[in-house]
Structure 1
Amino acid sequence: MSSRSKVTDQGSSTAGHGIVRRRGAVLALLIAVVFVVFVLVGAKILVDRSVYTPVAMGPVDAPAADSATCAEITDDLPDRIGDYRDVGVVDPAPDGSAGYRDSGGTELSLRCGVNAPGQYTLLSSVQDSGGEQWLQIADATPGSELTTWYSVGHSPVVAVTTDGRISASDLSDLGEVIARHGDSANAPAPADVPLADQSATHSDDCSALENALPDNLGEYRRLAPDSVSPDTAEAIDGSLVWVADGREPVVLRCGVDLPDSYEAGAQLTQIDEVPWFQDTALAEGSTAGVWYALGYADTVAVSLPLDAGNSVLTAVSEAIDDTLERTAEQ
């Protein structure tokens, strides 16, 4: 009996040590897991602090930025706009401003009370998001990837700018805020269509030119008059229009007069067989210049965004030389 009892005691002792060892291993594992979690949490906090820093902003022309409505809008802004989260603005923060960043640190700036862009015309394509009308404008500066979305359905106008990815659908929550506080009755009115103020004599050669021009000029596509509102169709009567998302339109008008800025001996740019004169005066807020084709019985004017490239004028020059009558001087 004593021998059997001794064996039993040894077995119990061995089992007890095994349980203790397993408990120790489990405890060590739990400690290791907790340690890893703390390390990851700490690392995330450090990364967040280095990535989600306030956005620095300088002064801009925003005449309504200090208005009561802009104060209401900025006080009611969503914590997130798409993938961007609110990080604040470096002091001293301009009136009507807010700053956001995404997980990669890309900035998104918001300005309330700015002027409506000069690019906003009857030809502009706007998108509805959150009950607000949004106009997308791409920066025409070479190499720039900045895009600004302007709210044009209410007053005051809000501008959202980033060089990262953002779509109209990402602006839904912000659109609801603007629609809730803004004034739709005083929303900015679209400007006239480029060249609409220039009278034109529509000759048979001009009709031939219009028929010879392509439906696409690079990324620009030809706008059909029956695809727009009656007011817009009336505004573009006598002109050809090509449009592209986020860009000012290309507008062509045949049979116009030369501008007052043109003088004999003015610098011309030769593209294929066509000499062009560029009127360097820009409309306020616009990035489009007007080019005039010389040396033909019908003078052609083209309103051309600065970032449209020479390919547009090259295609137009070819069609002009094929269809219009040259003058004796040419």
Structure 2
Amino acid sequence: MTTQFNRTAIYISLGLSIALVFGVIFGAKFVFENTAKAPVAISPIKSDFADSPQCSGAVDALPSDFMGHPRAEVAEPVPAGVAAWASTSTDEVTLRCGVDLPLQYTSYSQPQDIDGSRWLEVSDMTPGSTLTTWYNTDHFPTLAVTTFDDARPSGLDSALHKLDSRSPSPAPAPLSQLAAGPDAMCGEL
């Protein structure tokens, strides 16, 4: 006994299977692209100079592409003096203007030179975190760039030119002001 297959039913099944595979691929691409374009949430923090004319000018002068990412929309409510760039929801770079320098900025700090400007690197010490924030130390108000990796904030010359060229005072380094202890005399014997 021979079994015959209905070729028309097989071709229809094959065509539907191929159409479903392409539908899933294009649907996943659509969902991924829309998730990547979701507004970046930036929480408000104390930024006394974020509303200053210098910060407004710096934010207006920011590039449309920065550190390999396109400019992203910031979620409401948008704090003053902020901007964001993102390729995906996990690859985000944020910028804040008018923030205070961290207490890590002391006379012992060694800011790095990036494009002729001085930047202090502060890494998040939370286990598993790869966030790094870079603070500009030779312009006022201060710019802070937070990256999802250790990438250096290169390409902000036009924004920095909108700020005042002056270095803020470093935070005190309390340990440097301690009096020498009794063991300090041991080396003089």
TM-score range, shorter chain: 0.7 to 0.9
The reply to whether residue 184 of structure 1 matches residue 165 of structure 2 is yes
Could you tell me which amino acid in structure 1 is paired with residue 160 of structure 2? Answer: A
Shift of 1:92: 1.6
- Percent identical across equivalent pairs? 37
Larger-gyration structure (1/2): 1
Q: Does 1:67 align with 2:47?
A: no
State the Cα distance separating 1:119 from its structure 2 match.
0.4
What is the distance in 1 between the residues matched to 2:112 and 2:71? Answer: 24
Give TM-score scaled by structure 2 length.
Answer: 0.75
> How far, CA to CA, are the matches of 1:71 and 1:42 in structure 2?
39
Structure 1 portions without partners, runs of 5+: 1-35, 209-330
Deviations, residues 218-248 of structure 1 (Å, cap 9, x unaligned) = xxxxxxxxxxxxxxxxxxxxxxxxxxxxxxx
Q: For 1:128-147, list aligned pairs within 5 A.
A: 128-147=113-132
Unaligned runs of 5+ in 2: 1-21
Q: Which residue in the other structure is 1:165 paired with?
A: 149
Change (3 A) 1:78 1:142: same
Q: Which residue number in structure 1 is paired with residue 186 of structure 2? A: 204
Q: 1:128 and 1:41 mapped to 2: Cα distance?
A: 45
Does the residue aligned with 1:195 lie in a helix, a strand or coil? Answer: helix
**Partners in 2 of 1:52 and 1:42 — Cα distance?**
15
Distance 2:144 2:38 in 1: 21
Q: How many residues were matched structurally?
A: 165
> Equivalences for 1:1-330 in 2 at 5 Å?
46-103=31-88, 105-162=90-147, 164-168=148-152, 171-174=153-156, 176-185=157-166, 187-201=167-181, 202-204=184-186
Distance 1:146 1:105, change over 3 A: closer
1:183 and 1:135 mapped to 2: Cα distance?
Answer: 18
Q: Higher RCO, 1 or 2 (CA under 8 Å, sep at least 6)?
A: 2
Partners of 1:124 and 1:96 lie apart in 2 by 26
Please give the root-mean-square deviation of Cα atoms over the aligned residues, in Å: 2.6
Q: Deviations over 1:69-115 (max 9, x none)?
A: 11011111112221332112011200001122134632222111000
Per the alignment, residue 10 of structure 2 pairs with none
Please say if residues 132 and 178 of structure 1, whose CA atoms lie closer than 8 Å, have aligned partners that are also in contact.
Answer: no
Contact 2:58-2:160 within 8 A present in 1 as well: no
Match of 1:15 in 2: none
Q: Which has the higher helix share?
A: 1
Pairwise CA distance, 1:59? 1.2
